[in-house]
Structure 1
Amino acid sequence: MAKASAPSRDRIVAGAADLISRRGLNAASIRNLAKHAGAPLGSTYHYFPEGKQQLATEAVRYAGGAVTRILRKELRAGPVAGLRAFLALWRGIVVDSDFRAGCPVLAVSVEEPPADEIPPALIAAAEAYEDWEGLLAEALRDQGADPEQARGLAALVVASVEGAIAMCRAKRTMRPLDQVARQLEALIDGALDRPA
């Protein structure tokens, strides 16, 4: 749950991201999202007059942006360092929540959207994935990986980690993330091999 000292709007967004990561978007009402954030329902509607979709979109952007900032910082030390930071972030979230929380971006991504529209929260999720993949691909290219391979490997990293998080929650063990971590590190090392 978000810190009580955070400004009300920020607390609501952070709390919504946390609740979505635990229950998914469809299982969370605006009332549940406000309660989980420790915010009055009236404040929630004040800050998010368009309702649940507006709040969910902000929550996904908040979570996606937090991961982007971590990746941007850690990738300065190279793709393997960035991968390790990405894995450590998710490990912490899953373990600290006793396997109850995962990625709010994934949670929004796997829910069925209305037939007649693409909800803004789903668009925000796609943008988060694009940001993460772009940062990883750029780091791989900067370290000598083939540009096409870098794009594919970046997508594989994000997809593998997101899938491993879901598997960890279901199996209640971090083993899937550990297995994926070893394979991804080997693939990154292989992509960066340079002839002598």
Structure 2
Amino acid sequence: MSREQIVTGAADMIRRRGLNATSIREVAKHAGTPLGSTYHYFPGGKNQLATEAVQWAADTVQKVLAAKLRKGPAEGLKAFFALWRQIVTDSDFQAGCPVLAVSVEETTSAEALAAAAGAFRTWSGQLADSLEEHGVAKHRAQSLAQLVVAAAEGAVAMCRAQRSIEPLDNVAAELTALIEART
């Protein structure tokens, strides 16, 4: 069992259950690894594991955005929403974003919270840079990019609560139209 499998298992559990409802013991069981190896790889315990799970999720989305934003901000936005659509539907509305889950729990460590903040900054920064490259003024590009990330996170939460993909699809369509009109 590799370190990465434990991290991805933790990210999966956090995006489904939240940070508080995810224990090291359950992560080890979910990842199919002995409990001792989990503590070996993560001597900082749950806080270290949560931080690395958030970073893994952040990096995964960052790579998707980087690949698609080369074709323009609208393509990046479509890929961003398609990723969340896949996560929500593939999990039968049980999974959302581990970055958001860690962000909203009051017992989150400073390190995990900093990783979450960094993830949101990175994603919105990538979108803002692409918008600027396509003629949108810097301040407006930053504002639109933050709107996209915040709307996607909120729409994912609505989808899970309503057990419907409609909120995400509607938000994606509206934001895509907005971005296409700006670029």
With normalisation by structure 2, the TM-score equals 0.97
Partner of 2:163: 172
Structure 1 Cα separation of the partners of residues 143 and 182 of structure 2: 11
- Secondary structure of the residue aligned to 2:139 is helix
Question: Offset of 1:35 from its aligned partner?
Answer: 1.1
**Mapped contact 1:168–1:176 kept (Cα < 8 A):** yes
- Secondary structure of the residue aligned to 1:144 is coil
**Residue 65 (structure 2) pairs with residue 74 (structure 1):** no
Partner of 2:111: 120
- Secondary structure of the residue aligned to 1:77 is coil
Question: Offset of 1:141 from its aligned partner?
Answer: 0.3
Question: Offset of 1:182 from its aligned partner?
Answer: 1.4
Partner of 1:58: 52
- Secondary structure of the residue aligned to 2:5 is helix
Question: Offset of 1:146 from its aligned partner?
Answer: 1.1
Q: How many corresponding residue pairs? A: 183
- Secondary structure of the residue aligned to 1:127 is helix
Structure 1 Cα separation of the partners of residues 57 and 134 of structure 2: 27
- List 4+ stretches of structure 1 deviating above 6 A: none
Counterpart of 1:152 (choices 143, 163, 177) is: 143
- The code of the aligned residue for 1:69 comes to K
Partner of 2:22: 28
Partner of 2:154: 163
Question: Offset of 1:103 from its aligned partner?
Answer: 0.5
**Mapped contact 2:69–2:127 kept (Cα < 8 A):** yes
Structure 2 Cα separation of the partners of residues 74 and 186 of structure 1: 17
Structure 2 Cα separation of the partners of residues 181 and 50 of structure 1: 38
**Mapped contact 1:146–1:191 kept (Cα < 8 A):** no
Question: Offset of 1:136 from its aligned partner?
Answer: 0.1
Partner of 1:188: 179
Q: Is the radius of gyration larger for structure 1 or structure 2?
A: 1
- Secondary structure of the residue aligned to 1:28 is coil
Task: Give the unaligned 5+ runs of structure 1.
Answer: 1-6
With normalisation by structure 1, the TM-score equals 0.91
Counterpart of 2:8 (choices 3, 10, 14) is: 14
Question: Offset of 1:139 from its aligned partner?
Answer: 0.3
Structure 2 Cα separation of the partners of residues 152 and 123 of structure 1: 21
**Mapped contact 1:113–1:119 kept (Cα < 8 A):** no
